[in-house]
Structure 1
Amino acid sequence: MAENVVSVIPARKGSKGIPRKNIRELNGKPLIAHAIEASKNTSEIDHTVLTTDSDEIAQIGREYGADEIIHRPKELATDEVPLAPVIQHAYAESEGNFEYVLCFQPTVPLITHTSVEEGIQQGLQTDSDSVIYIRDSTHQYWKKTNGEYNSVSADRKNRQMMEPIYEEIGVFLSHRSIVEDGRRICDSPSFYEVDRREGIDIDTYEDWKIAESVLQRKQLVYRLIGNGNTGTGHVYRGITLADHIFEHDVLFAVEKKDELAIDKLAESNYAYRVFEGEQAILEYIRTDVPDVVVNDVLDTSVEYMQSLAELDSRIVNFEDLGVGSKYADAIINALYEHSTPPENHYFGSEYFCLRSEFRYATPLEEIPSVERIMISFGGTDENDLTAKALRALSALNEEYEIDVVLGLGYTERDHLDTIIEKFSSPGRISVSQNINSMAKHMEQADLLITSNGRTLYEAASLNLPMISIAQNAREQKHPFAHISRGVLSLGHANYVSEENLQAAVEDYCSNREQREMMRNELSTHDIANGIERIKKIMFEEANEN
């Protein structure tokens, strides 16, 4: 099969739609250079020919390694001349004697040498006289005949249910006999389908911008966790970031044990893969090294991070306080702050990833009185602070609407019912789990009792004052949980009694001045723009902390 194929790249100087199109730089190199490089990198192609009427294009062709430059006569360089005689002339003038001719138009710069090669192999193996490279273009089309519009499709269906419709791209393979006969393709060609991105054919400025955007896309592998112990905060952050990353490709990597994360990723429709463990994720990353690897898994080990550091990827970790963090290119930690952070560390509320439901919710403008108290400790609530908060509220003299939102990992639901029965008006208490919108619940609250996790920032984005309790020593390091930030922190769960919590709630409910002070302080924090800051860090656009 070797030494059978000559690639002919037609590139004239008279482009009208995009003037001087063939020599303009697309993502840092002339348009024709993309076709030349793909042709030269295709093992099935033995000879690459550039046919042109331009000395400038010819020079670029030589610089990028075209094997032969053929001068195209003026009569074959006009707008009216079809491609068949151009390829016929180039083949007749070229050096060598080849069985097949590949027409490779430079307007298809995204097609890979792998796809070019597979299409050629298909033609050679099936003894087809022609192979047309195509891409899926299935849509509802209408054609105009005698002044009337008629649907191409027989009936109205969703695009996914329609019979496929394909369009040619600017690449086709034909036997020499077809080319010598002055034809582009035979009467019964075979077809090779490429990915829609690869098949982008540049005719307009809009096509150009799309092609350049695709060439600049980076590959990101986002590893995250989500189970009964860690809750869903990590997976929600990953999905929220993916919602704002249109210009790059994101693949989520998750271990089989993280069932909550798998469920949420499945609902999101984002691409994800499930692995047996950390080593399997590493092996996958090594097979096709991405531009960026994100670890949203809390603390990392030296062994894992050293293995990643050996690859040519940018490594960005979230909330990593482990010994492996020193091998990351950037550490982002919204939950903890540092007065003098290292150059590649980004701390504090300005790097919080706020979910869309909070970005479009309505913040509190005033709290004249307290009517509704919300309790939410998320995850598994390891110290069952939900029960402690309910017992504390049951001792209040005033009656309030109480909205309890349980984390997906919480398993003591039946135990709560016995506490609720002791309230004088148990009907004023609602308990929810696996809710659709946390923001909707917060919008209706006048006070939130919660832990020192991400919920602090979500409530802060709505100017909702909080009384917080740290579940563990890690949470106790969260500096945002401070009255100067609009959060009344009671300390570590082991040292907060029901009486402490009851007194804090009573003070808050009876003191409007305190409520307004806390609400006003919360309104001063710029939390909504954290996603854009994170994106810049992930894709190396940040120059300063």
Structure 2
Amino acid sequence: MLTILNQFRNEEILILMDKKNSLGKEKFKENLYNVKIISNQREVFSEIKKFNPDIIFNDILNTNIKYMEKLKKGKIFLVNFEDLGEGRKYSDLIFNPIFSATTKLLNEYYGSEFACVRDEFRIFQRTQIREKIEKVSITLGGVDNNHNTFKIIKIINENKILKNVTINIILGFGFKHKEKLMKLTNSMKKENYKIIIIEKTDFISKYILDSDFVIASNGRTVFEIASLKIPIISLSVNSREKQHNFVNETKTGYQINMLKISAEKELINAISNMEKFEKRKIFLENLEKIDLKNGIERVVHMINYGYNAKKIGIKS
């Protein structure tokens, strides 16, 4: 959402964050945005009434009908992101880049062409391709409640793979299991594993860019990795991520459902294949066919056009 908001910096902006899910508030504040923490929906509508916005961006996974109906009564231009909820039909625009659909609403847009990658991924370009694997990055983002980072490293250790490469483990801002992870990685270093722990970095792109492939959770980060033309092993770690088929559809790496019993075997095979340049080369060629750096301009243009069209009474 920060990427989108940065395109509207000349406007007055208020960010409302749920008290139960306010992990990114410091990042917004660092960027000098006005952030208010709310505890319930009554407070949401109270703040909206006081602020009197022209546009509302809903970055809510599944909006409900009651919430969206009430917003719609305010004659505000409504834009929803990554929303599969029933309430989305009341929105003026819906962008669902990480999903695909056979049927959709008239104002609903699916697919990677509407992905909004962060600026740091838009300004850099890959400058080299190594035939032999030297560096791999692992980024599973955020809090990682299910210990997926630890599970992946444990699989690597138990199967003695990636032993001759540098493994960058990029931890999210809310990561809570560092002690357990460090104990494992320290023991692996004694066995000559080359592991680097990267914490609270604002520029993960520089690590991704220097990787021969990346193991990542199957969410928005996949678009950012692909924008740098780096092959991906994407891991679906929850039921929602299973619906994101970008990697399979574009043939830019391996997509693994970590909820399956066979997940560990599939991951080991995927890593083994990534070590073969002839396999990786196919993904690299497919990545060159994809443009993910211009999605932000496309989305911002559609928002501005839609808002102005509605304002003067033209159907967009």
**One fold, TM greater than 0.5?**
yes
Residue equivalent to 1:459: 225
Rate the CA distance shift 1:275–1:353 in 2: closer, same or farther, 3 A.
Answer: same
Contact preservation (8 Å) 1:404, 1:432: yes
Q: Which amino acid aligns with 1:262?
A: K
1:349 is the counterpart of 2:121: no
Report the CA distance between 1:483 and its aligned residue: 6.5
Residue equivalent to 1:519: 284
Q: Deviations over 1:288-336 (max 9, x none)?
A: 5321111012111222111101111111111111121121111111110
1:366 is the counterpart of 2:132: no
1:478 is the counterpart of 2:244: yes
Unpaired stretches in structure 1, ≥5 consecutive residues: 1-237
Higher relative contact order (CA 8 A, sep 6+): 2
Report the CA distance between 1:541 and its aligned residue: 4.0
Contact preservation (8 Å) 2:232, 2:253: yes
> Considering only aligned residues, what root-mean-square deviation do their CA atoms show, in Å?
2.3
CA distance in 2, matches of 1:432, 1:265: 21
Q: Deviations over 1:258-277 (max 9, x none)?
A: 43222111111123333333
Residue equivalent to 1:535: 300
Report the CA distance between 1:425 and its aligned residue: 4.1
Report the CA distance between 1:478 and its aligned residue: 0.4
1:411 is the counterpart of 2:176: yes
SS at the partner of 1:493? coil
Paired residues in the alignment total: 307
CA distance in 1, matches of 2:99, 2:151: 26
Unpaired stretches in structure 2, ≥5 consecutive residues: 310-314
Residue equivalent to 2:33: 270
TM-score by length of 2: 0.89
1:385 is the counterpart of 2:151: no
Q: Which has the larger radius of gyration?
A: 1
Contact preservation (8 Å) 1:449, 1:467: yes
Report the CA distance between 1:495 and its aligned residue: 2.9
Q: Which amino acid aligns with 1:348?
A: G
Contact preservation (8 Å) 2:144, 2:176: no
1:428 is the counterpart of 2:191: no
2:101 pairs with 314, 329, 338, which one? 338
CA distance in 2, matches of 1:367, 1:343: 44
CA distance in 1, matches of 2:102, 2:13: 33
Report the CA distance between 1:388 and its aligned residue: 2.1
Residue equivalent to 1:324: 87
Q: Deviations over 1:37-93 (max 9, x none)?
A: xxxxxxxxxxxxxxxxxxxxxxxxxxxxxxxxxxxxxxxxxxxxxxxxxxxxxxxxx
Q: Which amino acid aligns with 1:275?
A: I
Q: Would you tell me which structure has more helix in proportion to its own residues?
A: 2
Rate the CA distance shift 1:246–1:239 in 2: closer, same or farther, 3 A.
Answer: same
CA distance in 2, matches of 1:382, 1:495: 20
Q: How much identity, in percent, do the aligned residues show?
A: 29
Give the alignment of 1:39-438 within 5 angstroms.
Answer: 238-246=1-9, 248-363=11-126, 365-394=128-157, 395-396=160-161, 398-420=163-185, 421-422=187-188, 425-426=191-192, 428-438=194-204
SS at the partner of 1:449? strand
Report the CA distance between 1:349 and its aligned residue: 0.7
Q: Which amino acid aligns with 1:490?
A: I
Contact preservation (8 Å) 2:163, 2:193: no
CA distance in 2, matches of 1:286, 1:496: 51
